[in-house]
């Protein structure tokens, strides 16, 4: 499973309500890294919506899980349901993002030490666990 890619809306009002909510959220992962989901939502202005629907964010899987569990914005949850099948969606509702990732959410890799670091979009390091 990968992140859902982009989420779209044609409403600046819906975007602004969602962006304000996301900017006020924080998540601390099992390794102590704290992130703000709002950092993944692009900065847009009312005129950006003049031509209709536009993307507002491009999300990784951890953010999809966080949004499924915490977000109330209908357009965001509708997009999640469009992309993930019912089994995946239900699984994401119960994943504990503050715990070490379960085996089925780990990525395959040839890395032998079992752990590596990956840079998030803002330059912070994010721990990623790999199966070997």
pLDDT score at 5: 80
The Cα–Cα gap between 65 and 72 comes to 13
Q: Considering the chain, what is the average pLDDT of its residues?
A: 82
Q: Is residue 37 part of a domain?
A: yes
Count of the separate structural domains present in the chain: 1
Per-residue pLDDT, averaged over 51-68, amounts to 95
The string of pLDDT tens digits covering residues 69-78 is: 999 999 999 9
Tell whether 89 is covered by a domain. yes
pTM value is: 0.74
Kind of pairing between the strands at 27-28 and 54-59: unpaired
Residue 110 lies in a domain: no
Residue 66 host element (H or E)? helix 61-70
For the residues 53-68, what does the mean pLDDT come to? 95
Give residue 118's pLDDT: 43
Looking at the domain assignment, is residue 125 inside a domain?
A: no
Question: Both tokens of residue 54?
Answer: 């536009």
If pLDDT is split at 50, 70 and 90, which confidence band does 110 have?
Answer: very low
Confidence check: pLDDT of 100 > 90? no
Tens-digit pLDDT profile for residues 9-35: 999 999 999 999 999 999 999 889 999
Please report whether residue 116 resides in a domain: no
Q: Does residue 111 form part of some domain?
A: no
Question: What one-character-per-residue DSSP string does 27-47 give?
Answer: EE-TTS-EE-GGGGBPP--GG
Q: Say what the pLDDT of residue 103 is.
A: 72
The residues, any chain, with a CB within 8 Å of residue 6's CB and separated by 6 or more, are 55, 56, 57, 58
At 115 the pLDDT is 40
Question: Is residue 129 in some structural domain?
Answer: no
- Range(s) of the domain holding residue 88: 5-103
């Amino acid at each position: 499973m990968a992140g859902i890619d982009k989420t779209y809306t044609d409403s600046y009002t819906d975007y602004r309500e969602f962006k304000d909510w996301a900017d006020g959220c924080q998540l601390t992962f099992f390794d102590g890294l704290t992130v703000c989901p709002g950092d993944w939502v692009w900065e847009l202005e009312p005129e950006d919506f003049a031509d209709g629907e536009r993307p507002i964010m491009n999300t990784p899987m951890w953010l999809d899980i966080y949004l499924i569990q915490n977000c109330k914005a209908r357009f965001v949850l509708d997009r999640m349901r469009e992309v993930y099948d019912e089994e995946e969606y239900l699984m994401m509702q119960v994943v504990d993002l503050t715990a070490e990732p379960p085996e089925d959410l780990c990525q395959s890799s040839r890395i032998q030490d079992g752990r590596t670091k990956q840079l998030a979009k803002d330059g912070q390091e994010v721990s990623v666990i790999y199966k070997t």
